[in-house]
Every structure is written in C-alpha cells, then in structure tokens.
Amino acid sequence: MNYIKDIFSFVRRGNGNVHSDAVDLLGRLTMEKKYTKIEAGGTTVPLKVTKGHFVTNHSHTNYYIDLTTIKSRSSEAHGIAEALVQQFLFGTIVDTIICNEGTEVIGAYLADELSKDGFLNTNAHKTIYVVTPEFNSNSQIIFRDNIRPMISGKNVLILFGSVSTGKSANRVIEAVHYYGGTLTCIASVFSATDAVNGIPVRAVFTKKELPDYQCTDYHDCPLCRGNVPIDGLVNAFGVSML
C-alpha cells in the first residue's frame, strides 16, 4: 500500500505528464504482486519466481527466476552458501571460485564456509580465491596476467545464479580449461539441469521445486506457438517488463 501512495505523489509534475518514477513504482508493484515464493530443503531462504513468458539471450522460459535479494542481501546470500556447502560441497576441494551473473556476495560467503576446518584446498595460505570473469570486445572470457595464477593449476568451482541451457556455463568451462584450471563442479542457486558437459551442477533449487519449469529454443517455444505475448526480457541483471 505504501507504493500506491508514492505513485500518486509522483503522478503529476506541473505539466500533467506521468512522472517516470511513477512508472517505475507501478512496475515494482506489478512484479511484487506476481511473485511466488518457492522453498527447498536445507535452507530457509525462499526463491522468488514469476510465471509468464520471458526471453533470455539463449531461450524462452515460462518463469522469471528473481535472484535480486539472494545476490545482494547478505543474510540470504549467506544462507544459500551454507546450503550449497552442507548439501553438496563437503569433501570437494576448492581453491578458486569464479563468480558469474553478479554472484560475488554468495561467492564470498561460499569461500568463507569452504575455508573452515574440515574442508580442503591446495593453496599455501589455506584460503580461497574469489574472482569474476572479464569479457573482451569479442565477448570471450579472459583472465588478466595478475589473475591467471588463481586459475592455472587450481581446483576451480564456477558459481552461477541460474543454469538453464548450459550455454553460459560452457563458456566458463572452456575458459577454465584454457587457463589451466581443474574444474571440480558448477554451483548454482537454481538449475534446470543436473550436469553441463559431464560436469555436475549442484543447486539449492531445481526442477524438483519447480516441476513445470520450461526452457526452450525460441523456434520450439510452446508459448510462442500458442500466441502468448512476451512478458519481459531477462538477463543476469534482472527483468525488463514489456
């Protein structure tokens, strides 16, 4: 209800036009009303999803997986990191975590959990590197000379917000191999697949929690065939509603 009051306070600004802040607030209100919270075993952190027709760089999906607060709110990021370690990563040797799609906060907590007694890494200082890939002008993943020693010869875990088709994960896998790293596993908040190119994907939320989740090539999209309009465009930063 507070959003509604804010919207009316922004509606008219002298010339009678709707102020851009009002449009933004309307969008936030609309999205919040559509959210459904999904729960999974091993964590109290919920996953917020919105059902509809959404377009990503690689595919069409029938859900928008909203990771905004999980990526940016420390309590939720920590909760996801704890769930990944306790459920999947105990006994996994990790020297370096490559954070993709804005998962640096989760990655930092994950490194902290994996640095506790009982977990192994081969780094001399017994801590874990947390890095982010860089993209060149050709959209290829590169690691600068100062970062390469954190990949070469290291046991690498790559971290994602979500894994659907595996195309983005494949690019990081290729980069890890190119720079001489050993990939131990892929970790993700949500994943629609169990493995990418034979590499296991460990995720807190899967199709078990969201069984009707679909991710298809746009040529094969059942929503397009049914003339269902597109609700929004999705990338690693979030959603732009249409």
Could you tell me if 158 and 122 lie in one domain?
yes
Could you tell me if 86 and 166 lie in one domain?
yes
Q: Which candidate, 242, 157, 235, places its Cα nearest to that of 201?
A: 157
With 70 as the cut, is the pLDDT of residue 5 above it?
no
Could you tell me if 50 and 170 lie in one domain?
yes
Number of domains within the chain: 2
Could you tell me if 24 and 79 lie in one domain?
no
Could you tell me if 27 and 142 lie in one domain?
no
Could you tell me if 217 and 145 lie in one domain?
yes
Could you tell me if 49 and 155 lie in one domain?
yes
For residue 20, the model assigns a pLDDT of 54
Q: In the chain, what percentage of residues exceed pLDDT 70? A: 84
Could you tell me if 42 and 70 lie in one domain?
yes
Could you tell me if 193 and 229 lie in one domain?
yes
pLDDT, tens digit, for every residue of 22-58?
A: 555 445 545 554 789 999 999 999 999 999 999 998 8
pTM of the model: 0.83
> What's the domain range around 17?
1-34
Residue 56, C-beta contacts closer than 8 angstroms, at least 6 positions apart: 164, 233, 234, 235
pLDDT, tens digit, for every residue of 164-212?
A: 988 899 999 999 999 999 999 999 999 999 999 999 999 999 999 999 9
Could you tell me if 21 and 136 lie in one domain?
no
